[in-house]
C-alpha cells in the first residue's frame, strides 16, 4: 500500500472553525494506529481556496476532498485511511469543482 498524505487546512476560515484542534485530533487518531506513519502522514495546508465550506481536509493521492469536517467525523475518515471503509461520501462534493481541480493540480506538481 502506498503512503497517503492527509492535509488539514490552516487558513483563516478553517482556523476560525477549529482546524488547529482538528489537526491535533487527526494526528492523535492516526498515530494511535500507525505510530511510524508508515501508511499515512498528516500535514497542515495553507488554504485550499474553499474557505466557505471550512474546515477542509484532503487525502492525497486518493484525491478525496472533505469539507465542513468536524471532530466527530474523524473516526470515520481514519477508518477509510487505515481500515477498509469507503470514503465518507457525505463530506465530499461541497467545494467548487474548479477549486478542487486546482488543488489536485498543485498537489500533483513536484515542488
Residue nearest to ligand FES (CB): 11
Buried (b) or exposed (e) across 27-53, using 16+ Cβ within 10 A? bebbeeebeeeeebebeebeebbbbeb
User: Which of these ranges, 5-13, 23-31, 70-78, 86-94, lies near ligand FES under the rule CB under 6 A?
Assistant: 5-13
64 binds ligand FES per the rule CB under 6 A: no
Nearer to ligand FES by C-beta: 55 or 81?
55
Q: Which stretch binds ligand FES (CB under 6 A): 12-20, 22-30, 69-77, 83-91?
A: 12-20
- Choose the binding region for ligand FES from 31-39, 46-54, 72-80, 84-92 (rule: CB under 6 A): 46-54
Contact yes or no for 64/87 (Cβ under 8 A):
yes
* CB of 51 or CB of 59, closer to ligand FES: 51
Site membership for ligand FES, residue 11 (CB under 6 A): yes
Please list the alpha-helical segments (H only) found in 1-111.
12-16, 19-33, 74-82, 97-108
Spatial distance between the Cα atoms of 65 and 83, rounded to a whole number of angstroms:
18
Amino acid at each position: 500500500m502506498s503512503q497517503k498524505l492527509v492535509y488539514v487546512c490552516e487558513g483563516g476560515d478553517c482556523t476560525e472553525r477549529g482546524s488547529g484542534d482538528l489537526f491535533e485530533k487527526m494526528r492523535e487518531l492516526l498515530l494511535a494506529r500507525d505510530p511510524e506513519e508508515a501508511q499515512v502522514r498528516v500535514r497542515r495546508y495553507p488554504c485550499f481556496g474553499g474557505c466557505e465550506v471550512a474546515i477542509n481536509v484532503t487525502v492525497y493521492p486518493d484525491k478525496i476532498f472533505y469539507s465542513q469536517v468536524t471532530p466527530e467525523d474523524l473516526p470515520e475518515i481514519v477508518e477509510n485511511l487505515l481500515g477498509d471503509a469507503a470514503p465518507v461520501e457525505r463530506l465530499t462534493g461541497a467545494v467548487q469543482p474548479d477549486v478542487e481541480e486546482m488543488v489536485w493540480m498543485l498537489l500533483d506538481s513536484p515542488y
